[in-house]
Amino acid sequence: MSEAAFAGDGEVGRDLSAVDWAATLLMHDPASRLGRMIARWGDGLTLDTEHFASTYLIAHGAAKVFIAWGLMREKMWAFPTALVVFGLLIVYQLHRFTITHSTTLAVLIALDVVVCYLIWREYAFRRVDLRNAAT
């Protein structure tokens, strides 16, 4: 697809990234239902909630990169580390949930609990495999 396909009126030749294109499409198109929904949701966020979201996303992303690196290298320490880090994030999320009662946060908590369960199961399978290989 050419760059011109992503450019709006008067923007041909401008170097648009996918993020620029998506932001322009979602926020500046008055007929964009998704854009209006996201804007309404964002307008309702308090400064405290914005700080929480920023901290949460940075911590979550950094932890996932570090843990993914360990898991890709098949390091056994990565499994319990992931469980501890995500467990701490879940505790922090639960604390925030008691304050905000946010449905979005409840969904994130549930998703993180499922991820922790899957990590725990994989860790158990790997430990059994290691024991079997050692005997």
Query: Are 17 and 71 found together in one domain?
Result: no
- Examine the pLDDT at 132 and tell me if it is beyond 70: yes
Query: Are 125 and 71 found together in one domain?
Result: yes
| pTM: predicted TM-score of the whole model, two decimal places | 0.61
Query: Are 83 and 112 found together in one domain?
Result: yes
Query: Are 90 and 127 found together in one domain?
Result: yes
Query: Are 19 and 82 found together in one domain?
Result: no
- Examine the pLDDT at 125 and tell me if it is beyond 90: yes
Query: Are 33 and 67 found together in one domain?
Result: no
Per the CB < 8 A criterion, the answer to whether 93 and 112 are in contact is yes
Number of domains in the chain: 2
Query: Are 107 and 55 found together in one domain?
Result: yes
Query: Are 49 and 33 found together in one domain?
Result: no
Domain of 52? 45-134
Distance CA 14, CA 42 (A): 28
Question: How big, in percent rounded to 5, are the helix, strand and coil portions of the chain?
Answer: 80, 0, 20
Per the CB < 8 A criterion, the answer to whether 93 and 105 are in contact is yes
Query: Are 64 and 104 found together in one domain?
Result: yes
pLDDT at residue number 22: 62
Query: Are 68 and 37 found together in one domain?
Result: no
Query: Are 72 and 99 found together in one domain?
Result: yes
Entry field: residues in the chain: 135
| Tens digit of each residue's pLDDT (9 = 90 or more) over 63-80 | 888 888 987 888 899 999
What is the average pLDDT across 103-113?
93
